[in-house]
């Protein structure tokens, strides 16, 4: 894995570890430390408060102690799934990997890496071949 800054909204940038080969359509799956997950949680909850819960997924970090040991539970909620056919998928407990890092949003949030000067490395667009004109249209 390599260190990189990532974003999924062109505004918020977070440090993460990414595996360059773990991509879907050019989007990466970033792995965040718990402090960064807490920042993402605060940012997503503020966005949901500003735009409405139907417009933004939220992340929550809940802390607790069991038998004297501190634990954190990371929860991701896709509010748009509630009330629909995918309501059972609306909440996910995000499990850390062996290094204690969390893959918030996975590929579904369309995270992309940033260059050294924080320029988005947006995945390349699919080159499309233009369709031939309809008979009543003239070619341009």
Quickly list DSSP for the chain.
-EEEEEESSSS--EEEEE-TT-EETTEE--BB-HHHHHHHHHHHHHHHHHH-GGG--EEEEEEEEETTEEEEEEEEE-GGGTTSTTGGGSEEEEPP-TTS-B-TTTTTTTBEEB-TTS-B-PPPPPP-PPPPPPTTSPP-
Q: So what's the pLDDT on residue 136?
A: 58
- The pLDDT of residue 87: 84
pLDDT per residue as tens, the chain (140 positions): 889 899 998 889 999 999 888 888 888 999 999 999 999 999 999 999 999 988 899 999 999 999 999 999 999 999 888 877 888 888 999 999 999 999 999 888 999 888 777 777 765 433 344 555 655 544 44
pLDDT score, position 26: 80
């Amino acid at each position: 894995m390599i260190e990189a800054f990532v974003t999924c909204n062109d505004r918020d940038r977070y440090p993460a570890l990414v595996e360059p080969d773990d991509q879907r359509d050019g989007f990466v799956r970033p792995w965040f430390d718990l402090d960064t997950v807490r920042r993402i949680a605060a940012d997503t909850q503020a966005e949901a408060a500003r735009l409405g819960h139907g417009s933004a997924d939220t992340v929550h970090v809940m802390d607790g102690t069991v038998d004297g040991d501190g634990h954190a539970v990371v929860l991701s909620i896709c509010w748009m799934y509630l009330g629909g056919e995918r309501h059972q998928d609306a909440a996910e407990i995000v499990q850390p990997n062996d290094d204690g890092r969390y893959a918030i949003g996975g590929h579904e949030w369309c995270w992309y890496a940033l260059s050294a000067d924080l320029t988005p490395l947006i995945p390349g667009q699919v080159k499309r071949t233009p369709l031939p004109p309809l008979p009543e249209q003239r070619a341009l």
